[in-house]
Structure 1
Amino acid sequence: MADAALTQLIDLLDLEQIEQDIYRGASRPAVVPRVFGGQVAAQALVAAGRTVPADRPPHSLHAYFLRPGDPGAPIVYTVDRIRDGRSFTTRRVVAVQHGQPIFHLSASFQTHEEGLEHQVPMPAAPDPETLPTPEESLPRYAAGFRDPALVRRLLEARAAVDLRYAAAPPWGEVGAPREPRSQVWFRTNGKLAGALDTPLLHVCLMTYVSDMTLLDSVLLAHGRGGWAVGDVVGASLDHAMWFHRPFRADEWLLYDQESPTSQGGRGLSTGRIFTRDGRLAASVIQEGVIRVPRA
């Protein structure tokens, strides 16, 4: 089941080329009635990467979510070759559905270079093997969900990823504000091998997962459970990532997330992703709409 889900996710990221620098991606049913933002970001990065030599991996991306995506329709990705330099390559990608742009991404790629090296230390976290799996943890919270069927739908939507919370998720302790910090361990539910085992695919899979939990820290600060409970409505507005060091998406990665502020119907979250041996693999920043429903 897990390997099948990962195969489906990889198929989702395997875009169809319909013209030079134009690609088409399928969509999949989502837990909410719009395309999952991580899917669009990952597919857009795949499209950009298809136009760049394999020895130039992405080192950063900056993206805006413009309109909700329709999960029942394909998405067309158009790549603009902004720059091809001696060390850096820049691409811009626009995702279109029903004749309208729904997403915009700029990505930069770089050849390997030696340089100054330092990083922050990895924070303390429990070992992932000691934490409950999604199949073990999610059913515990079904009674508090606005629709108990969301548990099954959430498990299906995330079946390609083994994602384990280091502490109770926002919907696990609703009503009690907590420190605006969240930690999850994640890896793909299956190993990548052969032709699939490419640095670009690992980066795109990380991009896919990075949008799953980043705004949790905003909810924790206010004791809100999120969309599953129904006490807030929200959506991602923008998303930025910097890829620092090599990693594998099929090995455990610690996603350490916190929210420095929320205001004006928006919440900001930052994240750092570490390999299990303590190397800082990526940094993430996202702002999202966080609104309390009117009574």
Structure 2
Amino acid sequence: MHVNRQEAPGEAIVGSFIDLLRIEELDENLFRGRCHAGAPMRAFGGQVAAQALTAAGRTLAPGRLVHSLHGYFLRPGDPQRPITYEVDRVRDGASYATRRVTAVQRDEAIFTLSASFKRPEESSARQRTMPPVPGPEELPDPFPVWEQSDPEDYERAAGFRTLDMRFIPADSPGMPPELPGVPQQFVWLRTGTPLPQDDPLLQVCALTYLSDLTLASTTALHLQPHRIQRTEPPRIILASLDHAMWFHRPFRADEWLLFAQRSPSAADGRGLALGEFYNQEGELVASAVQETLVRERRRTERG
């Protein structure tokens, strides 16, 4: 789905998905970007992480590909203000390189990222088999439903509308049985506009953005079934605490990827979600883990 419109004052202009990853180089290890809102008045964490990874990757010579990242969300980001990304070149080894990035607003760190890069090498391979779930072409587009049910919220969500999503119903053929105490959801995702074929860093950064769209809601499925549109007023408070990813095989984020997600634990106001990304050929291309703040709003807060 392609969007081309002007954002509100202070926000970035979002015309295509690649605009969500765009950052400006201020100095050798210093970059600046803008992020749209995820929750009201909070920058979307997946975009902050993706821009931080973009900054890290731009300090390396070609030939090293990111294979893992670990990030911590420290403070809510302000979507009305730019974010500065400070890169620390921790190590450049013969095979591996490490970067640490701090995202800063108003002289305070809002997010930290550690990312590891390596040179590709040949080795034996194995993976978990992708479940035989329905393909994206068999599933409805949820965005028209969102637009009809909440036009104002849909119009504000310019960033999310530059991507494509297809939710797989729980009773679909081929869905793995849900284990007791382990809610799950399966979603097909891709960017809504093509990405350059010769930029593997951009593909990984795009998937970093996509990986933060539904993991948090997976941790709260036992409290409230997911809906792409927000409830008014929301019953659940969700916020990403930390996020980790591992990239196993080359992929394209502008082609359909199945995001198989499960949440094995929720306790102490926190939920854990595990996710696996498969391409349409059944290859496991990436894995993600996220811990999320999960709180039920008190009745007085919900009106």
- In the other structure, the counterpart of 2:169 is 167
Task: Choose between structure 1 and 2: higher helix proportion.
Answer: 1
Shift of residue 179, structure 1, vs aligned partner:
5.9
1:251 and 2:255 correspond: yes
Once the two structures are superposed, the pairs formed by residues 280-291 of structure 1 within 5 Å of their partners are: 280-291=284-295
Shift of residue 29, structure 1, vs aligned partner:
4.3
1:190 partner SS: coil
Once the two structures are superposed, the pairs formed by residues 97-246 of structure 1 within 5 Å of their partners are: 97-139=105-147, 142=149, 149-154=152-157, 156-167=158-169, 180-193=183-196, 197-225=198-226, 228-229=230-231, 230-246=234-250
2:238 partner SS: strand
Distance in 2 between residues matched to 1:167 and 1:54, nearest whole Å: 41
TM value normalised by structure 1: 0.88
Shift of residue 137, structure 1, vs aligned partner:
3.8
Shift of residue 278, structure 1, vs aligned partner:
0.5
- In the other structure, the counterpart of 1:75 is 83
- In the other structure, the counterpart of 1:173 is none
Distance in 2 between residues matched to 1:17 and 1:203, nearest whole Å: 19
- In the other structure, the counterpart of 1:277 is 281
Root-mean-square deviation (Å): 2.2
- In the other structure, the counterpart of 1:2 is 2
Shift of residue 28, structure 1, vs aligned partner:
2.8
1:222 partner SS: coil
Shift of residue 224, structure 1, vs aligned partner:
4.7
CA gap of 1:7–1:198, structure 2 versus 1, over 3 A, is farther
Shift of residue 30, structure 1, vs aligned partner:
4.2
1:125 partner SS: coil
Question: Is the deviation greater in 61-70 or in 14-23?
Answer: 14-23
1:58 and 2:58 correspond: no
Aligned residues of 1:62 and 1:106 also touching (Cα < 8 A): yes
Q: For residues 78-108 of structure 1, give each alpha carbon's deviation from its aligned partner in whole angstroms, at most 9, with x where no partner exists.
A: 0001100000000000000001000000000
Q: For residues 163-220 of structure 1, give each alpha carbon's deviation from its aligned partner in whole angstroms, at most 9, with x where no partner exists.
A: 111127xxxxxxxx996100100111122236xx410000000000100001222222
Distance in 2 between residues matched to 1:181 and 1:163, nearest whole Å: 16
TM value normalised by structure 2: 0.86
Q: For residues 10-65 of structure 1, give each alpha carbon's deviation from its aligned partner in whole angstroms, at most 9, with x where no partner exists.
A: 23422111111011112334452100000100000000000112211100000000
Task: Identify unmatched segments of 5+ residues in structure 2.
Answer: 6-13, 171-179
